[in-house]
Amino acid sequence: MDISVLGGLAVRENGVSITPTAPKPRQVLAMLALHADQVVSVSTLTEELWGTEPPRSARATLQTYVLQLREMIGAALERDHADAAPRCAKDVLVTVPGGYLLNTSGGASDVREFERLAGLGYRAMDAGDFPGAARQLGEALSLWTGAALADIQTGAQLSMETRRLEETRLCALDQRIEADLRLGRHRELLGELSVLVSRYHTHETLHGQFMLALHRSGRRTEALEAYQRLRRALVRELGLEPSVRLRRLQRSILMVGPEPAQDASLSAHGGERAVRVG
């Protein structure tokens, strides 16, 4: 089974789509796919579908959605190779005490692959291998084709999961940009960072990285303007001033002067690592 959730939902068995078109069964499959090879409880699925006040028929209706998914899985299993061990739909979408489990039989999951590659990238960063980190994190991020489960009607559980996935994507993105900054790719980053700070207009790390890239590219005035835009957004929307780290970066840029800096770093996780711009 191949599972993709980092964009639209796509689940295939033997190369055949088992992704239903009806909204509620899609929600059920999305929950099972996100937690592939793990038990998802009936209560979790019920809350996802109907919130905190499910109808009396909730359990029976959920069983109907599971049967619909199994019908699609059964049709896909008809393409099993003749020499493969015989399987039925209940071997793939398994009923277990208190819930259900989607058995991938060792198939691919873009979430698991993203987490694997991102982990390699983080370890490369820790080891000072910036080219390796940029490569591994870039490969991890390339698995995203859009917002996670972009085509799914989400309830409370899936909304929480998609927020978690977006945060992991942002962490990987922060670190990949940090690796590129360490490699001197300042000008190459400007276009990407310009889009990112417009999208995440109160994200301090991205703004700090944008300021560094601008300053190192000889665009000191624009770097200071980026700081002021961030400050206005933080004060307006959150009632907060920029962090000590960002204020230190701004002062450093003011003190260094108009020449691009030769050495700078900014913690991608928002820590208090010293920031050097020259």
pLDDT given at position 263: 43
CA distance 91 to 115: 27
pTM for the model stands at: 0.85
Q: Is residue 278 over pLDDT 90?
A: no
Mean pLDDT of the chain: 91
pLDDT tens-digit series, residues 138-173? 999 999 999 999 999 999 999 999 999 999 999 999
Confidence of residue 271 (pLDDT cuts 50, 70, 90): very low
pLDDT given at position 207: 97
- Average of pLDDT values for 192-198? 97
Domain coordinates of the chain in residue numbers?
1-183, 187-278
Per mean pLDDT, which range of 13-27, 73-87, 108-122, 258-272 is the poorest?
258-272
How far is residue 145 CA from its own chain's centroid?
Answer: 10
DSSP string, 45-110: HHHHHHTTS--TTHHHHHHHHHHHHHHHHHHHHTT--TTSPP--HHHHEEEETTEEEE--TT--BH
Confidence of residue 87 (pLDDT cuts 50, 70, 90): confident
Percent of all residues in the chain with a pLDDT value above 70, rounded to a whole number: 90
CA distance 3 to 6: 9
- Average of pLDDT values for 125-130? 97
pLDDT tens-digit series, residues 230-269? 999 999 999 999 999 999 999 999 987 554 444 445 544 4
Q: Is residue 115 over pLDDT 50?
A: yes
pLDDT given at position 266: 53
Confidence of residue 214 (pLDDT cuts 50, 70, 90): very high
CATH of domain 1-183: 1.10.10.10
pLDDT tens-digit series, residues 164-181? 999 999 999 999 999 999
Superfamily name and number for 187-278: Tetratricopeptide repeat domain (1.25.40.10)
